[in-house]
Each structure stands twice: as C-alpha cells, then as structure tokens.
A and B are shown apart, each in its own frame.
Chain A
C-alpha cells in the first residue's frame, strides 16, 4: 500500500508542546516539508526566536541556534556568511520580529541576506501570557490593553510585509494563512518558494503566516480561525507583495 502521510524527515520525533489547536505545529510541518522536498536537510540551519517557538530546535532534526529576543535575523546573517552553502532560516513571532527585533529584520532584509524568514503573526505575545503586540488589532483586548488597543496611544497594527516590500533587496515577500485547506496549500507553496529561492542563491525571502493563538485569544481553535478570517485578514490582507524572480508563476 502506498503511504500517503508520514512525518517529514526534517521533523524530529519530539511531541510539540504547543497548546491544542495552535498553528505553530502546522507551520513547523510546512517548513519541514519544504526542506525535505528541496533535499536540503543535511545543510539546513534554523534560528529559533524567543516566543512560544523558542523550542523550535527540538522539533526540527537539523542544526539550530537559539537566538536572543528579536535578534534571529542578525544571528542568521552571521551563520549564512560563515556557511554560504547552509540553508539558513529564522522562525519568529510578532513580538520578536515586529517589536524588539524591528531593526534586525529590516536591515537583514535590506542587505538582501540570502536567508528565509518565517514570520508567525498571531497578533499577541503568546509566550508571556497574552500582552499587546505591535500587530494587535485596534480595539483588541489583551493583558496590557484591557480597554482594547487604542490607536491614539498605542498606534496601529504594523504591517511587516508591506514595509519590507518597500525595500529594494528582498526577492520574495508574501503573506499567507492556514485557516482552511485551500489557504494551507497556498501557505505550503509559499514556504516552498521561499526556501527554493534561497537554495538558488536568489536572496532574501519573507513569508508572513497570519496565525491564531487560541489560548491567549480566549477562543476555541475553530472559533479562532473564524475570528482570524473576519478580523485579522481585513487588516493583514493575504497576497504576494514582492516577487522579483517570478517564482510564483514558474
């Protein structure tokens, strides 16, 4: 009988510690599948962030660095410059990438480092218990915005894809989600494209995954995906903001 579903080689056997229904596990799997498909597991090097995915290195079966909060793109720069044949990627949350690590991501992108960035935007600080993130929506109630995010004092949600797409160097900037099977397949393709571009030496690729955090949103997983669809996607529209090599059409 043909086996149609198995654990990707690039995923380790460690069970995920993520909350039930959390998107991190699925996104890990998509990354692992891309690395398997491109046959680069033996030279893949990941950089784990500080956030719920701090233990990402436990779930992938290849070399990993665990970076300080927000610094993953700088660490990845150092690794890639030392190991140009490595397939180097960062995996970061919205607090990590869009708040404390804003300088690092913008400048790694602007230098056109030949790395891949997987940005998991769940509009909240998951790991620390649900504080307001730079990507939290206006009116969104969190531990540190108990009256709802007020644009007058806390500003507006930061749109990282749109910002990074204004830079000359990045070759691929795209936003996806995994709220239904069709979008999941698109996300899988986008992550594959991003790693493919790196493998071909094309340059900086950035995939934002709009994701859920059922625990800190205080919603069931299915309700969370519904809430994401109705509330997050209007603010963070899906689509490709930059594709200089035409990888999506190829």
Chain B
C-alpha cells in the first residue's frame, strides 16, 4: 500500500481494523480522542462494534466480556482513565483474556494536564492493578510504530492470552507522519476454543472465564502458572523470537556514554547522540521498544563496555529504576527528567552529557 499521512491516534485505529479488530469500547479523554473518533466512523464500515461506555470502568469490563467471548478487542484512554481501568485489567490478566489497551499518556498525578508525559511507566510495567500479574508493554516512537505495534500487540495478546498495553503519549498521538499500512488480516471470532459461546465441534463441555480461586492452593498454582507464562514471554523477548523487536541500539559499540530513553524522548536522544559525536563525545543510544519485559540482558551486556548511562524521561524518574536494576551497580546511571508536560530540549540533555563526560 502507498504511504498515507496520519495522526498517531488515527494510525492506531486503522491498524486495529487491519489487524481484524472489530470491537472498541472507550470513554472520551484528551489527548486520545482522535482514536475513538476514527473508530466510531471506521468500525461500522466493516461491521464492527463501537460503544461509547459510561466510564472507563465499564469500557474495560466490556473489553473483558468481548475478549472472553473470543473477540479481537481494544480500548484506549489517557492516564486518569487508565487508572480507572486497572481493576478490569487485573481481572483480564487473571482470567487470561487477550486484548489491547492504549494509553496516550498525559501529565499527572490527579487531573494533571493534557500535555505529553511518561509518568505512567510504573503503573504500566508493574501490573497497575492488584495481584501478581504482568502486562506486555509496547512503546512506539513514531506514527509508523503506532500502527505496527498495534498489529503486533493483537498478535502478542492472542499468542499469550494476555493483555497488551501500548504506551504512547500526547505528542505521538497528535503528530502527523507518513505511514505504510499492511494488507488487512482476517480474524474469526470463533477461532478460540476456550472462548465463551465458542461453537466449534471440539468445544469442551463448557467454557468458563474467571479469576476467582477461593482455595489457597488453587490460587497459588494459578499464580505460578501465570508467572511461568511471564517467564516464557521474558525469554522470547531477551533471547528468542522477539529479541530484535524489543530494543533499538544505536552507536553503542564504542560508546563512552549511553543515553537511554523510550517513546518520543528517544527521537530527541538520537539528535543528542549526533551532536555529541560531532563534538567528539562517543555517545550511543538504547531505546527499549518493549518496556515489559524490560531489555535487561541488553543493558547488562552494555554495562560491561560503556562507562556511563544517562536515562532521560518525561517524568521525575521511573524507568531509570529498571536500568539501575539491570546495570546492578557496575557503572554509574545518571538521570535527567522534565515533568508536568515539558519536553526536554536536545540542548538541555547535551548539557547533562557534558556534565558527566567533561565534568570541568
């Protein structure tokens, strides 16, 4: 297909349709409104279902219902709304129902503001709701990746029967870039044997979708089962089939300082790396494209070679903890952040690099 110019939020919507998603449930919130607006128009054209729910709480529970009945289904929101969805996400993870959840992150805590932010990293990568569970977290940095990761997100969700979170921000959601869209995929609602209402001949006596295990032994067994699944996912992202999908490394081989950032920040960091190199500072960039499972192995390998890490985030410092855990004291890990909706400039970051590599 020819490239089309699209907003990030719209690219997610079109990619979802191309991935065979026919069900969207959501509640309005800035800065993700282009996405439900797009799908409210697009889904009826392909016999899909768009429901504007009465709240994010309801929306995520509609997702739970649709997903448990076999639908390829999604919801989207921004930070305050994602907080409301956490109860549902916990149930969905516990019941092992696949779905895609998009967070176009804005400034918090509380009502915060509608400016772009990265302050939901902890919420996204630590599960977010109650209980022992994980969600796969994807972090695009371009409109193209908003589309690609949406499609990949549905595949991953189905493959692992697990919710997948697309962690974006207000800049990525609103900016326009050319996108290459793939051919549409067919998806059959009746393709999951475990789903409620499944009508195939190989159906079990009956299907149940539940996260309750009243007996302590049963719940312990279930939680270890989930844990083992998360281990399998982690392995596939660190040494298996999704290894290259998980992380982007740029000029790291000879780097004396490695900048670490995800999402929109990584694009600024690329400019910083170029400017550093021009000035004779050997800088490199690591961009986690998947935030959970975190590319720990990559950080560990790089910690053997490079002298310093500088983590840059649009928060007071959240992902930096994962970098520190991975580097495990081997090398200094510095942090620079702007928060409240401010995007750091390349100049500011360059300044930080200078302070580290040319302290006088």
Q: Which residues of A contact B189 (CB under 8 A)?
A: 82-83
Smallest CB separation, B23 vs chain A (Å): 7
Further contacts, 17 of them, CB under 8 A, given A64-B196, A71-B61, A82-B189: A64-B206, A65-B196, A65-B208, A66-B211, A66-B212, A68-B88, A74-B53, A75-B68, A78-B68, A78-B69, A78-B71, A79-B197, A81-B66, A82-B65, A82-B66, A83-B69, A107-B58
Q: Which residues of A contact B55 (CB under 8 A)?
A: 103
Asked if residues B209 and A103 are in contact (CB atoms below 8 Å), the reply is no
B49 within 8 A of A: yes
Q: Interface code B53-64, partner A: CB below 8 Å = 1, 0 otherwise?
A: 111011101111
A45 within 8 A of B: yes
B5 within 8 A of A: no
Q: Interface code A77-110, partner B: CB below 8 Å = 1, 0 otherwise?
A: 1111111011000000000000000011011000
User: How many residues on B have C-beta within 8 angstroms of the other chain's C-beta atoms?
Assistant: 36
Query: With the chains together, A47 CA to B68 CA distance in Å?
Result: 11
Q: Which residues of A contact B62 (CB under 8 A)?
A: 74-75, 77-78, 81
With contacts A43-B197, A74-B58, A78-B23 taken as known, whether A67 is within 8 angstroms of B208 at the C-beta atoms is: no
Q: Which residues of B contact A83 (CB under 8 A)?
A: 69-70, 189, 196-197
B210 within 8 A of A: yes
Query: With the chains together, A86 CA to B65 CA distance in Å?
Result: 12
A37 within 8 A of B: no
Query: With the chains together, A175 CA to B357 CA distance in Å?
Result: 76
With contacts A74-B61, A81-B23 taken as known, whether A63 is within 8 angstroms of B54 at the C-beta atoms is: no
With contacts A75-B62, A75-B65, A83-B197 taken as known, whether A62 is within 8 angstroms of B206 at the C-beta atoms is: yes
The 4 tightest CB contacts between A and B, nearest first, are A78-B65, A78-B66, A74-B61, A66-B210
Query: With the chains together, A55 CA to B64 CA distance in Å?
Result: 18
Q: Which residues of A contact B65 (CB under 8 A)?
A: 47, 65, 67, 74-82
Query: With the chains together, A68 CA to B58 CA distance in Å?
Result: 11
With contacts A45-B69, A74-B62 taken as known, whether A63 is within 8 angstroms of B211 at the C-beta atoms is: no
With contacts A43-B197, A78-B25, A82-B189 taken as known, whether A67 is within 8 angstroms of B61 at the C-beta atoms is: yes
Asked if residues A71 and B57 are in contact (CB atoms below 8 Å), the reply is yes
Query: With the chains together, A249 CA to B48 CA distance in Å?
Result: 37
* 8 A-B residue pairs with CB within 8 Å: A55-B212, A71-B64, A77-B62, A78-B63, A79-B68, A83-B196, A103-B57, A107-B54
Asked if residues A63 and B196 are in contact (CB atoms below 8 Å), the reply is yes
List CB contacts (< 8 Å) of B59-91 with chain A.
59, 61-71, 73, 87-88, 91
Asked if residues B64 and A65 are in contact (CB atoms below 8 Å), the reply is yes
Smallest CB separation, B359 vs chain A (Å): 53
B328 within 8 A of A: no
Q: Among A67, A78, A82, which residue has the most Cβ atoms of chain B within 10 A?
A: A78
Q: Among B23, B58, B64, B73, which residue has the most Cβ atoms of chain A within 10 A?
A: B58
Chain B residues in contact with chain A, CB under 8 A? 23, 25, 49, 51, 53-55, 57-59, 61-71, 73, 87-88, 91, 95, 189, 196-197, 206-212
Smallest CB separation, B360 vs chain A (Å): 58
List CB contacts (< 8 Å) of A95-140 with chain B.
103-104, 106-107, 111
A57 within 8 A of B: yes
Asked if residues A103 and B206 are in contact (CB atoms below 8 Å), the reply is no
Query: With the chains together, A67 CA to B88 CA distance in Å?
Result: 9
Smallest CB separation, B309 vs chain A (Å): 41
Q: Which residues of B contact A208 (CB under 8 A)?
A: none
| Residue in chain B with minimal CB distance to A85 | B197
Asked if residues B51 and A63 are in contact (CB atoms below 8 Å), the reply is no
A22 within 8 A of B: no
Query: With the chains together, A111 CA to B50 CA distance in Å?
Result: 13
Query: With the chains together, A61 CA to B208 CA distance in Å?
Result: 10
Q: Among A66, A81, A104, which residue has the most Cβ atoms of chain B within 10 A?
A: A81
Asked if residues A61 and B206 are in contact (CB atoms below 8 Å), the reply is yes
Q: Which residues of B contact A103 (CB under 8 A)?
A: 54-55, 57-58
- The contact of A63 among B61, B91, B207, by CB within 8 Å, is B207
A158 within 8 A of B: no
Asked if residues B54 and A65 are in contact (CB atoms below 8 Å), the reply is no
Asked if residues B87 and A64 are in contact (CB atoms below 8 Å), the reply is no
Asked if residues B73 and A78 are in contact (CB atoms below 8 Å), the reply is yes
Q: Which residues of A contact B209 (CB under 8 A)?
A: 64-66
Asked if residues B73 and A63 are in contact (CB atoms below 8 Å), the reply is no
Q: Which residues of A contact B67 (CB under 8 A)?
A: 78
Asked if residues A82 and B61 are in contact (CB atoms below 8 Å), the reply is no
Asked if residues B71 and A82 are in contact (CB atoms below 8 Å), the reply is yes
A167 within 8 A of B: no
Q: Which residues of B contact A79 (CB under 8 A)?
A: 65-66, 68-69, 196-197
Asked if residues B61 and A68 are in contact (CB atoms below 8 Å), the reply is yes
Smallest CB separation, A109 vs chain B (Å): 11
Smallest CB separation, A136 vs chain B (Å): 24
Query: With the chains together, A62 CA to B197 CA distance in Å?
Result: 9
